[in-house]
Amino acid sequence: MSEKEDVRGLLELVGLVVAPVTAVTAVLMYFGWNRQNAIYGYFGVDHAVLRFSAQDYLLRSVGVVFKPLAVVLGVLVLLVAVRRVAARLDAVTVPLGRGVRLPAVQAVRIGVAVIALVWAVSALAGHAEPLTGALALALAAVLGGPPLHGTERPFRGRVLVGSVVAFAVFWAAAVHAGRGGTALAEHIDRNPDAQPALTVYSTERLTLPGETVVGPSTYRYTGLRLLSYANDRWVVITGRDPERGRLTLTLLRDTDRVRVEVTD
């Protein structure tokens, strides 16, 4: 083998490894972004002002992906087990007309796959629960794939089924990320006192409640709560909007003029 072929083989190997890792990283970042967008969007804040890093999004996506992936994989394992048991019933057939008979197990699989596919399409159209729609889509692919593509081109069939299942996992994780972020925001909105208390010192007057003059050109603000901190930016809970009934937030940056202390 020549040196050029060695280099080409190495580059192909690197490409096979890097491409999936890059794709998975991008997907995980999206889930983290979706979760943060739901949290801050609940309070009417664009989380882009916090300038979260790629690492921040990745860390916040781990818990988002695990549950939907575990559920879908668990269902797939169950389907494989059921398939092995049902394989013994292939001798039982149902008539389709003109002397054509179809194994009963295969007929049931196709019927269930069609029902699941209809439910998934309904969920995509916004008429059914999205999480169950994602699960139904994976179910339709696993059950209906083999009977439809047959055994002539099994590799293409497996690729198609795998792609649909991967999309179902992505769909479920995206929905779970948004709902998880909203649920966390609602919990904070109901229990703001559970957040860390803050005391803010500033050399200039700020539009914050709880102001106390403690010295020449020195102001102290108390009664505040911390929502989050990222990239030298404090997201501070300052009160509650009487019209919307939700907490109000203010963004403070760490500067020479502003000092923030976490008091508990």
Q: Specify whether 144 is located in the same domain as 48.
A: yes
Tell me what pLDDT residue 171 has: 84
Burial environment of residue 80 by CB neighbours within 10 A (0 to 12, 13 to 18, 19 or more): exposed
Lowest mean per-residue pLDDT among 35-39, 90-94, 121-125: 90-94
Q: Which residue is listed with tokens 């919990």? A: 187
Task: Give the residue-averaged pLDDT of 223-248.
Answer: 88
Verify that 161 and 239 share a domain, yes or no.
Answer: no
Domain's final residue, options 164, 190, 216: 190
Between 151 and 255, name the one with better pLDDT: 255
Percent of the chain with pLDDT over 70: 71
Residue 25 sits in the same domain as residue 136: yes
pLDDT of residue 255: 86
Of 135, 156, 190, the position where a domain reaches its end is 190
Same domain? 39 vs 80: yes
What is the per-residue pLDDT for 152? 56
Residue 145 has pLDDT above 60, yes or no: yes
Check: CB of residue 198 under 8 Å from CB of residue 261: yes
Same domain? 18 vs 32? yes
In this structure, the answer to whether residues 167 and 183 fall within a common structural domain is yes
**20-24, 110-114, 141-145, 232-236: least confidently modelled range:** 20-24
Name the residue among 111, 119, 159 with its Cα closest to residue 137: 119
The parent domain of residue 10 ranges over: 3-190
Report d(CA 47, CA 44) in Å as an integer. Answer: 9
- Does 256 lie in the same domain as 219? yes
197 and 184 housed in the same domain: no
**Same-domain status, 180 and 200:** no
Confidence bin at 1 (pLDDT 50/70/90): very low
Are residues 83 and 45 part of one domain? yes
What pairs with residue 225 in β-bridges? 197, 237
Cβ atoms of 179 and 63 closer than 8 Å: no
- Convert the pLDDT of each residue in 79-121 to its tens digit: 666 666 655 555 555 555 555 455 566 667 778 888 888 898 8
pLDDT at 9 over 50: no
Tell whether 27 and 152 lie within a shared domain. yes
How many CB atoms neighbour CB 233 within 10 A?
A: 16
162 contacts 146 by C-beta, under 8 angstroms: no
Euclidean distance between CA atoms 188 and 80, whole angstroms = 42
Total of domains in the chain: 2
Vertex 28, ends 25 and 32: CA angle to 5°?
135
- Mean pLDDT rounded to a whole number for the chain: 76
Sole residue written with tokens 């009664």: 223
Amino acid, single-letter form, for residue 129 = E
Q: Which residue, among 167, 113, 103, 186, has the nearest Cα to 143 in the 3D structure?
A: 113
Domain termination residue (choose one: 190, 221, 247): 190
Whether residue 52 is found in the same domain as residue 139: yes
Question: Does the pLDDT value for residue 191 go beyond 90?
Answer: yes
